[in-house]
A and B are shown apart, each in its own frame.
Chain A
Amino acid sequence: MAELAASRRPVTSLAGTARRRRREALVRAIFFAAALVSIVISAFIIYTLVFRAVEYLTIIDFGQLIADGWFPRRGQFDILTLLIGSAMVAVIAMLIATPVGLGAAVYLSEYASLRSRRWIKPILEILAGVPSVVLGFFALTFINPEIIQTVFADATGFNLLAAGVGVGILTIPLVASISEDAMRAVPNALREASYGLGARRITTSLRVVFPAAISGIVAALIIGLSRAIGETMIVAIAAGGVGGSLRTLDPLGPGQTLTAAMAAIASGSDQVRGDDGAYESLFFLGLVLFVLTFGLNIIGDAFVRRTRQRY
């Protein structure tokens, strides 16, 4: 059996080969450069939005921002119309996503057997994977005629309610998964303490687990809301308002949101820059939307971190 040498080089050469260290440094530099790409993307987004939004604000008169409705081709840029529209859709969506999402989450976390979890969770993930255009079509061609118009006879063919329901369905899996994660993160010791005292499952779920997971649940709702505000295609398909919209509080009629307005401008026939400000308003809306969702996401993330810290 061959003797193995103790070392191939003089013991004093503990410095390593320069070639290997150069390779290591190169590898590290390449990976660092890759990580910088995400920073660059962020920078570009913020720069583009701010720069063009400012450009837009210098083009138009301030009075156009409080016009009587959102009709970009006519130079009416009432931002309030869009904000109200977005708010309405988001509220309707959360009215659906909150009970359904939280209910499903509590059931999965506290009641469901291991076997049922194994096929229920994947189905929820499939629902999460349905593209929004599909839900938009579904909202327009099924939810509206079959459900909404049967209940509310004076609902129009395009309306904010249908869009809101569609967005709600879209948001259900998100709310369900984040809140379920939060509830499952609650240590079993707490549940055992509660059951040990003779509490039933409903009491344990509602008065022990739910409050313990509240940070995560709030996070789920905030992130869900942010997602609902940022959703474009369902509204673009089902809510109408392509040419523009008056300020409205009626969910049974057509309306426009920040996001769908952007899609309408971008896909409209005059995609070239004019000096009517229609094209630039696109970026102004983008900035408003970005700030809104960014703010909500920051708050939501703060809540997510609070759940992680506890345990």
Chain B
Amino acid sequence: MSLGSVMETRTIVGRSLRSAGPDWRGIAFQGLLLLALLFALATLAVLVIDIVSRGFPVIADRGGDFFSSNLSSRASSAGIWQGIYGSMLIAIFVAVFAIPIGVMTAIYLEEYAPDNRPTRFITVNIRNLAGVPSVVYGLLGLAVFVPLTQAIGGGTGRSILSASITLACLVLPIVIITSSEALRAVPGALREAGYGVGASRWQVTRGLVLPAAIPGILTGMILSISRALGESAPLIVIGASYTFFSTGQQDAVAQLFGSFTALPVIVFGWSSRPEADFRALTAATIIALLAVTLAANTIAIYLRNRLELKW
């Protein structure tokens, strides 16, 4: 081969190895994808900025008074205390009703249940419940739990108790599904070792599997409470108040059976008031609500990321 043709080959190969210019199509496509992603992130950012700019002045002006006053039709004196109180109670009651039953169900499904049709029926049913719209849970509450609490404690039955039971039903599938995943992630070798020293099923579950799954279960618990705090459709169907109501004369127990409200319900109620003052109040309420739900979600996500490294 002559020197000239060797050089030619080299040039041809060299040229072909180098790209024929920038890959415009690929860059444009990647840009489009990035745009989509940024749209989502930007929406969140715009939302937060808009809400905070609307609502922060209220908090700055009125400070603690905003958080400690009751609902009122006068914007200057209206506050969200009853909403905070109601949401707090809801968080506690939903935790009490949903978490033990949910975790026990997950333990049953993962550690005890045989792999047969009744078990599959239960699992399918739980997945379906997870997809039921929240407002339908409200109907369940209205038809079943409202008369129930009425029979127990009198009043109209439209109470924080019936609301909490309803929301507990709503988040129950979430607790079950996340706890099941946490239990499933525990390696089989751990269980084997436990059975190997002569532990019974409950001893293995309680002494080995559950402790190992606690972080994941905890994450699920926090996520479900956070979800319950943000729900308002079922509460509205059950009859939460968003206008003035008084619980002045009732003691704490009686209040459980009387009128109630929660933060997201207040947001809904005040949203429908066109006055600019109430717009600002609504935004301030949202700040309070987001502070709680976002904090809870962040803690849960952080917990989950920390333990993804474990196994």
Q: How far is the CA of A142 from the CA of B55 in the complex (A)?
A: 13
Please tell me if the beta carbons of B142 and A266 are within 8 angstroms of each other in the complex.
yes
Please tell me if the beta carbons of B136 and A35 are within 8 angstroms of each other in the complex.
no
Whether a CB of chain B sits under 8 angstroms from the CB of A244 is: no
Expressed in whole angstroms, the minimum distance between the Cβ of B258 and any Cβ of chain A is 16
Expressed in whole angstroms, the minimum distance between the Cβ of A3 and any Cβ of chain B is 20
Expressed in whole angstroms, the minimum distance between the Cβ of B74 and any Cβ of chain A is 20
Q: How far is the CA of A233 from the CA of B237 in the complex (A)?
A: 11
Contact partners of B142 in chain A: CB under 8 A: 266, 282
Please tell me if the beta carbons of B26 and A201 are within 8 angstroms of each other in the complex.
yes
8 Å CB interface, A58-101 against B: 99-101
Contact mask A274-303 → B, CB, 8 Å, 1/0? 000000001100100110011001100100
Whether a CB of chain A sits under 8 angstroms from the CB of B186 is: no
Q: Which chain B residue shows the least CB distance to A48?
A: B143
Contact mask B3-42 → A, CB, 8 Å, 1/0? 0000000000000000000010110011011111101110
Contact partners of B277 in chain A: CB under 8 A: none
Contact mask A205-232 → B, CB, 8 Å, 1/0? 0100000000000000001001001111
Expressed in whole angstroms, the minimum distance between the Cβ of B270 and any Cβ of chain A is 9
Interface stretch among A24-32, A184-192, A247-255? A24-32
Please tell me if the beta carbons of A31 and B131 are within 8 angstroms of each other in the complex.
no
Contact partners of B126 in chain A: CB under 8 A: 38
Contact partners of A129 in chain B: CB under 8 A: 226-227, 230, 293-294, 297
Contact partners of A52 in chain B: CB under 8 A: 143
Given contacts A226-B131, A297-B131, contact A34 B30 (CB under 8 A): no
Q: How far is the CA of A198 from the CA of B213 in the complex (A)?
A: 44
Contact partners of B51 in chain A: CB under 8 A: 134, 137-138
Given contacts A42-B128, A230-B134, contact A202 B139 (CB under 8 A): no
Please tell me if the beta carbons of B282 and A48 are within 8 angstroms of each other in the complex.
no
Given contacts A48-B144, A137-B283, contact A34 B44 (CB under 8 A): no
Expressed in whole angstroms, the minimum distance between the Cβ of B155 and any Cβ of chain A is 14
Report how many residues on chain A are interfacial, defined by Cβ distance under 8 Å: 84
Please tell me if the beta carbons of A49 and B108 are within 8 angstroms of each other in the complex.
no
Return the contact of A283 from the options B46, B109, B143 (Cβ within 8 A).
Answer: B143
Q: How far is the CA of A14 from the CA of B155 in the complex (A)?
A: 59
Whether a CB of chain B sits under 8 angstroms from the CB of A236 is: yes
Whether a CB of chain B sits under 8 angstroms from the CB of A270 is: no
Q: Give how many A-B residue pairs fall within 8 Å (CB-CB).
A: 250
Contact partners of A123 in chain B: CB under 8 A: 41, 44
8 Å CB interface, B65-112 against A: 100-101, 104-105, 107-109, 112
Contact partners of B29 in chain A: CB under 8 A: 202, 206
Please tell me if the beta carbons of B267 and A130 are within 8 angstroms of each other in the complex.
no
Q: Which chain B residue shows the least CB distance to A271?
A: B239
Please tell me if the beta carbons of B140 and A266 are within 8 angstroms of each other in the complex.
no
Q: How far is the CA of A205 from the CA of B280 in the complex (A)?
A: 46
Please tell me if the beta carbons of B301 and A262 are within 8 angstroms of each other in the complex.
no
Whether a CB of chain A sits under 8 angstroms from the CB of B233 is: yes
Whether a CB of chain B sits under 8 angstroms from the CB of A239 is: no
Given contacts A34-B104, A35-B109, A297-B131, contact A131 B230 (CB under 8 A): yes
Contact partners of A172 in chain B: CB under 8 A: 40, 43
Contact partners of A99 in chain B: CB under 8 A: 36
Q: How far is the CA of A189 from the CA of B66 in the complex (A)?
A: 58
Q: How far is the CA of A282 from the CA of B139 in the complex (A)?
A: 8
Contact partners of A202 in chain B: CB under 8 A: 23, 25-26, 29-30
Q: Which chain B residue shows the least CB distance to A134?
A: B286
Given contacts A42-B129, A133-B267, contact A37 B26 (CB under 8 A): no
Expressed in whole angstroms, the minimum distance between the Cβ of B4 and any Cβ of chain A is 30
Interface stretch among B169-177, B189-197, B249-257? B169-177
Please tell me if the beta carbons of B268 and A133 are within 8 angstroms of each other in the complex.
yes
Given contacts A39-B125, A130-B44, contact A293 B131 (CB under 8 A): yes
Please tell me if the beta carbons of A120 and B37 are within 8 angstroms of each other in the complex.
yes
Contact mask B135-179 → A, CB, 8 Å, 1/0? 111111011100000000000000000000000010011001000
Whether a CB of chain B sits under 8 angstroms from the CB of A126 is: yes
Return the contact of B23 from the options A124, A131, A137, A200 (Cβ within 8 A).
Answer: A200
Please tell me if the beta carbons of B113 and A35 are within 8 angstroms of each other in the complex.
yes
Q: How far is the CA of A219 from the CA of B169 in the complex (A)?
A: 25
Given contacts A38-B173, A134-B289, contact A127 B136 (CB under 8 A): no
Whether a CB of chain B sits under 8 angstroms from the CB of A141 is: yes
Return the contact of A297 from the options B54, B112, B128, B271 (Cβ within 8 A).
Answer: B128
Among B227, B233, B294, residue most surrounded by chain A Cβ atoms (within 10 Å):
B233
Whether a CB of chain B sits under 8 angstroms from the CB of A111 is: yes
Whether a CB of chain B sits under 8 angstroms from the CB of A44 is: yes
Please tell me if the beta carbons of B36 and A233 are within 8 angstroms of each other in the complex.
no
Please tell me if the beta carbons of B143 and A223 are within 8 angstroms of each other in the complex.
no
Residues of chain A whose beta carbon lies under 8 Å from any beta carbon of chain B? 20, 23-24, 27-28, 30-32, 34-35, 37-39, 41-42, 44-45, 48-49, 52, 99-104, 106-108, 111, 120, 122-127, 129-138, 140-142, 169, 172-173, 176, 200-202, 206, 223, 226, 229-233, 236-237, 242, 259, 262-263, 266-267, 271, 282-283, 286, 289-290, 293-294, 297-298, 301
Known: A103-B35, A122-B301, A137-B282. 7 other contacts (CB 8 A): A31-B104, A44-B144, A131-B264, A131-B293, A138-B51, A267-B236, A301-B127
- The list of the 6 closest CB pairs from A to B, nearest first, reads A103-B36, A230-B133, A131-B230, A34-B104, A31-B108, A297-B131
